[in-house]
């Protein structure tokens, strides 16, 4: 399978190059040249299949020409080491719990899969070490650290802004094994991102090692997110025994990775009637759906902070899927946005009415589903993080004190190298490791 850039100002590349480049050289995002359609028969017995089995079938259709099937099977099995249950919350409303991975957020899926694909290619690169760089503002760093910790031949450098991570997010950067290196930057997230970009543009670094990015725009973080849309549908079937009709999926959206993955699954033939986009006050995407105008703006802080995105990069993939045509796009997508007060109110209401604890991101998606669902339809919302990751919001909304997630509290706090916003300082770290 080849992958083209959404900007179409550079040639298509194979999977290896798409993964290793991360971003296409013309600044566009990679998309698969062909979206294979799944044979209808697949849906007849999908309800008997595990997440891993489903993931393998879908992955093999897309990546099978680049990586051999036994290897894909292994990558998929190593990615899904945790359950993704579909839990009934109310009549006709189900929660797809994507937070049972090691860092308690759905980003584990993409990070674990990407880590294994990079490792697959690095084992072919004859002893040349691969270095993965990522700038994080929160959840990505932990997911990448956990995703890469058992992956041989790859050194990971995570740049995070000093003082901006929550206690749990900071702890999640410390993983055993010695191949994951967290670097504290005395600056903002944007500074971290700029340093990473400078490293990519530095010929000295490129000569010394292969470097790539584990950022969320990487196509191999996106593709595995398709699998759980199929799995959600299969789980719904399992509950009723027959093919569900009129399934609507609500996606709590920031950078639009999950939504893009869902739309790709739909294009492959997954019978989803429509997707609901749920935004917090950063409602750039929802505004686009309502008006046809995409107007990026500075993000502001909200209680669903992982969705505080003012210029979602995956919009270019979504527009590309519809040939830039607002008409057909607005037929499958609806959108709603919510204030912090709405989100906390939803958490409170669902906890008292249904005894189900939502996190602020899942709550946003739940609210959108409740506002959008028509009689006779069945709704699924993505519950993207464990509520304990947002214990303060949970407490504010429901009065409940949640213990932090299992396995998250025994860490010994390590000291990370701390650098000012200077590329020379980062370069020194990268090159020392390279020579050593």
Ligand X SMILES: *Cc1c(COP(=O)(O)O)cnc(C)c1O
C-beta neighbour count of 85 within 10 angstroms? 14
Binding ligand X (rule: CB under 6 A), the pick from 254, 262, 379, 387 is 254
149 burial type by CB count under 10 A (0-12 exposed, 13-18 middle, 19+ buried): middle
Binding ligand X (rule: CB under 6 A), the pick from 63, 151, 247, 385 is 385
Tell whether residue 223 is a contact of ligand X (CB under 6 A).
no
- Torsion angle of C-alpha atoms 322, 325, 327, 331, degrees rounded to 10: 20
Beta carbon of residue 106, minimum distance to ligand X (angstroms, whole number): 6
Which CB, 254 or 335, lies closer to ligand X? 254
Tell whether residue 181 is a contact of ligand X (CB under 6 A).
no
Of the listed pieces 20-28, 159-167, 256-264, 271-279, which binds ligand X according to CB under 6 A? 256-264
Binding ligand X (rule: CB under 6 A), the pick from 172, 384, 388, 398 is 384
Tell whether residue 139 is a contact of ligand X (CB under 6 A).
yes
Of the listed pieces 235-243, 254-262, 317-325, 403-411, which binds ligand X according to CB under 6 A? 254-262
Strand 93-97 to 86-90 pairing? antiparallel
Beta carbon of residue 99, minimum distance to ligand X (angstroms, whole number): 8
Beta carbon of residue 307, minimum distance to ligand X (angstroms, whole number): 5
Tell whether residue 142 is a contact of ligand X (CB under 6 A).
no
Of the listed pieces 58-66, 77-85, 246-254, 413-421, which binds ligand X according to CB under 6 A? 246-254
Alpha carbon distance 434, 436 (integer Å): 6
Contacts of 341 (CB under 8 A, 6+ apart): none
Binding ligand X (rule: CB under 6 A), the pick from 151, 249, 256, 276 is 256
Of the listed pieces 29-37, 111-119, 252-260, 332-340, which binds ligand X according to CB under 6 A? 252-260
Which CB, 211 or 220, lies closer to ligand X? 220
Tell whether residue 307 is a contact of ligand X (CB under 6 A).
yes
Tell whether residue 335 is a contact of ligand X (CB under 6 A).
no
Tell whether residue 302 is a contact of ligand X (CB under 6 A).
no
Alpha carbon distance 75, 58 (integer Å): 13
Tell whether residue 253 is a contact of ligand X (CB under 6 A).
yes
Alpha carbon distance 294, 256 (integer Å): 14
Binding ligand X (rule: CB under 6 A), the pick from 32, 161, 244, 257 is 257
Beta carbon of residue 392, minimum distance to ligand X (angstroms, whole number): 15
Tell whether residue 107 is a contact of ligand X (CB under 6 A).
yes
Asked if 80 and 56 count as a contact pair (C-beta separation under 8 A), the reply is no
Beta carbon of residue 257, minimum distance to ligand X (angstroms, whole number): 3
Tell whether residue 102 is a contact of ligand X (CB under 6 A).
no
- Torsion angle of C-alpha atoms 422, 424, 426, 427, degrees rounded to 10: 160
Instruction: Give contact residues for ligand X (rule: CB under 6 A).
Output: 105, 107, 139, 252-258, 306-307, 361, 384-385
């Amino acid at each position: 399978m080849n992958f083209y850039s959404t900007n179409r100002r550079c040639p298509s590349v194979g999977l290896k190059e798409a993964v290793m480049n991360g971003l296409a050289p013309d600044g566009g995002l990679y998309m698969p040249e062909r979206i294979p359609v799944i044979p209808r028969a697949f849906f007849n017995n999908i309800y008997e299949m595990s997440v891993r089995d489903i993931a393998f079938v879908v992955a093999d259709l897309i990546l099978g020409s680049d990586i051999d099937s036994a290897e894909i099977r292994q990558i998929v099995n190593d990615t899904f080491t945790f359950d993704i249950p579909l839990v009934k919350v109310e009549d006709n409303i189900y929660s797809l719990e994507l937070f049972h991975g090691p860092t308690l957020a759905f980003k584990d899926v993409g990070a674990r899969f990407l880590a294994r694909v990079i490792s697959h290619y690095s084992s072919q690169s004859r002893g040349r070490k691969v270095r993965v760089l990522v700038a994080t503002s929160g959840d990505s760093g932990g997911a990448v650290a956990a995703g890469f910790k058992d992956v041989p031949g790859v050194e990971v450098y995570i740049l995070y802004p000093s003082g901006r991570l929550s206690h749990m997010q900071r702890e999640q950067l410390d993983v055993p094994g010695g191949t994951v290196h967290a670097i504290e930057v005395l600056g903002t997230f944007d500074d971290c991102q700029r340093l990473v970009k400078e490293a990519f543009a530095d010929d000295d670094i490129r000569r010394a090692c292969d470097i790539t990015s584990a950022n969320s725009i990487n196509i191999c973080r996106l593709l595995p997110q398709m699998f759980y849309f199929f799995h959600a549908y299969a789980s719904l079937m399992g509950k009723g025994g027959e093919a569900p009709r009129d399934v609507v999926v609500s996606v709590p959206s920031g950078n639009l990775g999950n939504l893009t993955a869902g739309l790709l699954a739909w294009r492959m033939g997954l019978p989803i009637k429509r997707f609901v986009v749920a935004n917090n006050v950063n409602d750039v995407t929802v505004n686009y759906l309502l008006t046809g105008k995409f107007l990026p703006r500075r993000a502001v802080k909200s209680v669903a902070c992982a969705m505080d995105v003012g210029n979602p990069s995956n919009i270019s993939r979504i527009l590309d899927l519809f040939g830039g045509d607002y008409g057909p796009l607005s037929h499958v997508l609806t959108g709603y946005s919510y204030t912090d007060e709405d989100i906390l109110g939803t958490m409170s209401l669902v906890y008292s009415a249904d005894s189900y604890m939502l996190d602020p991101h899942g709550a946003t998606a739940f609210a959108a589903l409740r506002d959008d669902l028509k009689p006779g339809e069945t709704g699924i919302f993505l519950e993207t993080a464990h509520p304990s990751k947002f214990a303060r919001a949970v407490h504010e909304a429901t009065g409940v004190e949640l213990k932090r997630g299992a396995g998250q509290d025994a860490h010994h706090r390590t000291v990370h190298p701390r650098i000012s916003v200077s590329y020379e300082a980062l370069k020194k770290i990268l090159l020392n490791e390279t020579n050593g």
